[in-house]
A and B are shown apart, each in its own frame.
Chain A
Amino acid sequence: MSEPMESLLHVEHLRQTFVSGHGSRKRTVHAVDDVSFDVYPAETFGLVGESGCGKTTTGRTIIRLYDPTGGKVTFDGREISGPMNKELRKYLSDNIAMIFQDPIESLNPRMTIEEIVGEGLKLRGVTNKSERHVQVVEMLHRVGLTEEHASRYPHEFSGGQRQRIGIARAMIVHPRMIIADEPVSALDVSIQAQVINLLNDLKKEMGLTILFIAHNLSVVKYFSDRIGVMYYGKLVEVARSGDLYDHPLHPYTRALLSAIPEPNPLTERHRVRLDYDPARDHDYSREQPQMREVAPDHYLYCSESEYEKAVRSLEKA
């Protein structure tokens, strides 16, 4: 993906802060702090990190569930981080859809599946009920459900089926990009694979671009073309997924990789887990860190000396 392709989603110095309290109790949380990345058409970009690192906030800010504090986001050349108006809202919801983590909380329990999935069509002027029904059923088939499911309510479905409904709802307006926020982490192992396969099929069939937000690194590695690692609101490393796993450069990426328990009892017993302590692992007293390209398509948030070290380590490898 290194060819100079036009990016579909361009995020530049995105900032999102949350403020709580007043006066002396005022606290500012930098949930997303100067994050920049590009997502190219038909690509899956994985965003990983631990809870509180800002990965979900990044996704939500892009789709404008929050108003960004600073920075710029463009989608297909059009700025989508500016003041919100009716027209921008429509542009966003036509082009970007979201799949949420919790398939129970994200579906209205008082609406039938037909109403949930068809709502997007209704808002887009498909007023004819039978026409809507046809499209809803087609989409249900596509995600592995049947026509008879359309008249049922969310509580009648299992977790995996509910997630399929969430996917159908997102896909029915034929968005160009999907932001999937931990779409499989609430599901059972045997069901996770079904949902991942479904997303992969849809991605191929419809040429979807996906921003995949998750904490499970094996899933992210499997599913993404490129991966960005976040730590405390900062993007610390971005690389193609193979490169990231074979040559992790940032100490946090290494710690994260070493922490994944692998289903292999022989290796697990000898596993050396790495620790990441920013105060110990970096010396930023003299040099300021910034995002630098260490190798083609491999970006690292580092200082000048760390940059040189990283380049040397890649040459050796």
Chain B
Amino acid sequence: MMTENSTILSVNDLRISFRTVNGVVQAVRGVSFDLKRGETVAIVGESGSGKSVTMKALMGILPPNAVIEEGSILYNDMDLTKADEKVMHEIRGKRIGLIFQDPLSALNPIMRVGKQITEVLRKRGLSSAEAKERAIELIRAVGIPDPERSYSAYPFQFSGGMRQRVVIAIALAGDPEILICDEPTTALDVTVQAKILDLINQIKEERGLSVIFITHDLGVVANMADRVNVMYAGRIVEAGTAEEIFFEPVHPYTWALLESMPDLQTSGRLQAIPGAPPNMIAPPPGDAFAPRSSYALKIDYEQEPPMFALSDTHIAATWLLHPKAPKLEMPASLKERIARMRKEAEKYV
């Protein structure tokens, strides 16, 4: 799948906290991952898991009360956590593009769509005639009908899916290498979502983009990702290829996440995750998921689990993988579900 296996972006032990009136919120607590050229890496997690904060750090758009405590974001031998605004300004949009969750608030409501695209192109030094031509090309490339007319339309004249296409066109206008998609389809209907996902996959192939895809929807992850990082309470708890995460998960949180949503065959009671995500002002010691997990060991409440490597690509932070830990298997219902998924997949082989 990948022609070149070089790492384009590398996040190392990133720690970000927020100064708030109630105390210091430790939003990201030591996140490391690599993005390789031409691949899609998904970051999955619930709200408050730190996935969006990580994304904002990559773009250099953290709010003023956020502090990067430690760690680095290496891009082209440059540490983005230390880059000043002038450098970030060059990188943002031109090197790293961003697609937001809500296309309506990402667009300027009183500026014609064409202008919002040419704005980016003009910054890159194109003449206004060139910019217009290129913008219409982009509008066509993202699948908006009647590009010439759409060029001079306003955002409110478009449907949600078409607006998201406009946002993608703007992101592409900067001709970035990396595209960060922050829940780009959460606000959209399923049929529209399917089209937008196809579009992102298509432009990724055409332009050789590397994509970071942030979402909470495992179905979307399965659709998009080459590799998956599962985040919980500011940490990556498990990372691996899509196959490893969906078929050989080892962290109790990944188990719980996979089990908590009904698929089309589910009957019987849903395996809900009890409780709620922890308060990140005082995150629990040890494995933050332990209080909600029925597989927690004593040590999970005391000591933070290290990353155990299961393969070159598959890592997980859970004490269950320690050689001295009792051999616990994933829940039987999940095992059944995975067997069903494998069987389902055989149809296509």
Contact = CB atoms under 8 A, between A and B. Distances in A.
A262 B273 CA distance: 20
Interface residues of B, number: 48
Contact of A266 (B220, B225, B341): B341
A197 B347 CA distance: 32
A220 to B, nearest CB: 9
Contacts of A268: 219, 222-223
B191 A265 contact: no
Interface string A181-193: 0000000111111
Contacts of B221: 263, 265
Interface string B263-277: 110110111111011
A149 to B, nearest CB: 13
A254 B274 CA distance: 35
B264 A245 contact: yes
B191 A255 contact: yes
A17 to B, nearest CB: 21
A51 interface: yes
B344 interface: yes
Contact of A262 (B243, B257, B263, B347): B263
Nearest to A222: B262
A50 B264 contact: no
Contacts, number: 135
Given A196-B270, A217-B190, A222-B267, A266 B345 contact: yes
Contact of A222 (B194, B256, B270, B345): B270
A264 interface: yes
B218 A193 contact: no
A190 B190 contact: no
B101 to A, nearest CB: 13
A188 B256 CA distance: 13
A194 B345 CA distance: 29
B276 A273 contact: no
A261 B269 contact: no
A41 B347 CA distance: 40
Contacts of B198: 273
A267 B223 CA distance: 9
A176 interface: no
A305 interface: no
B261 interface: yes
A245 B262 CA distance: 14
B160 interface: yes
A200 B191 contact: no
> For A215, A217, A269, which residue has the most chain B Cβ atoms within 10 angstroms?
A269
A136 interface: no
Given A50-B189, A221-B262, A266 B348 contact: yes
Interface string A120-162: 0000000000000000000000000000000000000010110
Given A50-B190, A256-B190, A266-B341, A190 B222 contact: no
Interface string A52-91: 0000000000000000000000000000000000000000
Contacts of B276: 158, 160-161, 191
A202 interface: no
Interface in B265-302: 266-267, 269-274, 276-277
A50 B261 contact: no
A219 B270 CA distance: 11
A213 to B, nearest CB: 14
Contacts of A260: 190, 219, 264
Contacts of B342: 266
A292 B342 CA distance: 38
Interface of A: 50-51, 158, 160-161, 188-194, 196-197, 200, 215, 217-219, 221-223, 245, 255-256, 258-271, 273, 276
Please name the 10 residue pairs, one residue from A and one from B, whose CB atoms are nearest each other, closest first: A261-B219, A266-B345, A222-B262, A193-B272, A50-B189, A190-B273, A265-B242, A263-B218, A270-B348, A259-B194
Interface of B: 46-47, 160, 189-195, 197-198, 216-223, 225, 242-243, 246, 256-258, 260-264, 266-267, 269-274, 276-277, 341-342, 344-345, 347-348
19 contacts: A161-B276, A190-B46, A190-B257, A193-B260, A193-B261, A193-B273, A196-B262, A218-B261, A219-B262, A259-B193, A261-B194, A261-B197, A263-B261, A263-B341, A264-B345, A265-B243, A268-B219, A268-B222, A268-B223
